[in-house]
Amino acid sequence: MSSCSEVSMVLLVSLFVTSLMAMTASAGNFYQDFDITFGGERAKILNGGQLLTLNLDKFSGSGFKSKNEYLFGRIDMQIKLVSGNSAGTVTAYYLSSEGPTHDEIDFEFLGNLSGDPYTLHTNVFSQGKGNREQQFQLWFDPTKAFHTYSIVWNSQRIIFLVDNIPIRVFHNLETIGVPFPKSQPMRIYSSLWNADDWATRGGLVKTDWTQAPFIASYRNFQASTTSTNSLTEQSAWQTQGLDAAGRNRIRWVQQKFMVYNYCSDLKRFPQGLPVECRRSRF
């Protein structure tokens, strides 16, 4: 199959899945599910709780967190990122526990100059240790419409998905000494903030405050956990892995759109790559 045909096929699947989710899933309510954590009126809940927007200006960013904690589950959020010249900004969307030995599962969207692609930064922390970064450039413009960003977290693995297309898997490899997040409940967090010391081209491109306020929008939050779903629905995420089609899709994403993988960074790990890098990725 040609590269053009591959892109077209995945885009069609992506659009179909996004539309299906929007039609069949009942949206969460931001008033009921989340608290504003900082930024005051820069964070706004609109449309009766169906839409949330975060704003960043030269004085402050803004953020929110979930009222509930989760220990395993599937988390879905539709996000429309800051448009135009978003250089220097970071939109973070992640799960995290608290404390010095916290666990964390990260999506971070690093802003860009107008016309350049966003960088999607992912990371996994377990027992306070991270340094497991993988970065991607998306196959669509994430500022033109809402797209669904999902985390599947069960006892065997963590799967990062974009419009239900897997982009990364982090396996439970405790049997070879790799800590895995499994015992600390985590809340959902999101924030929009200025990080122009590193976010765009390593900090070479600074935030253009004449473009402020910068705005990111959220809708259709879903949390599928043991306490929110029927037994049938639970089993889907509790045992979810990658079938042959999923492995083909993640391979396509990582070959075409991955721009950094800690498991390939020999300069960073001169004494040898982390042990999990020597095992199967998918």
| Token pair of 60 as six digits | 């402050």
Tens-digit pLDDT profile for residues 170-229 = 999 999 999 999 999 999 999 999 999 999 988 999 999 999 999 999 999 999 987 655
* φ, ψ of residue 29 in degrees (nearest 5): -115, 120
C-alpha 98: how far from its chain's center?
19
What tens digit of pLDDT does each residue of 65-76 get?
A: 999 999 999 999
Catalytic residue among 6, 108, 133, 174: 108
Known catalytic residue at 104: yes
Q: Is 41 a catalytic residue?
A: no
Judge whether 167 and 261 are in contact, CB under 8 Å: no
pLDDT band at residue 26 under the 50/70/90 scheme: very low
Q: Does the pLDDT of residue 24 top 50, yes or no? A: no
Q: What DSSP string runs through 207-235?
A: --GGGPSEEEEEEEEEEE-TTTS-HHHHH
Q: What are phi and psi of 264, to 5 degrees?
A: -115, 5
Instruction: Give the orientation angle of helix 244-257 with respect to helix 3-24, to 10 degrees.
Output: 120
3 state DSSP class of 161:
strand
Q: Residues 249-255: what's their mean pLDDT? A: 97
Residue 141 structure tokens: 């413009």
Contact 72, 226 (CB under 8 A): yes
> Hunting for tokens 């009126």 — which residue is that?
41
pLDDT, tens digit (0-9, with 9 covering 90-100), for 99-140 = 999 999 999 999 999 888 999 999 999 999 999 999 999 999
SS3 195: coil
Residue in 6, 41, 98, 104 annotated catalytic: 104
The whole-chain average pLDDT of the chain stands at 89
Residue 228 is predicted with a pLDDT of 59
Residue that has been written with the tokens 């599928």 in this structure: 224
Give the pTM.
Answer: 0.88
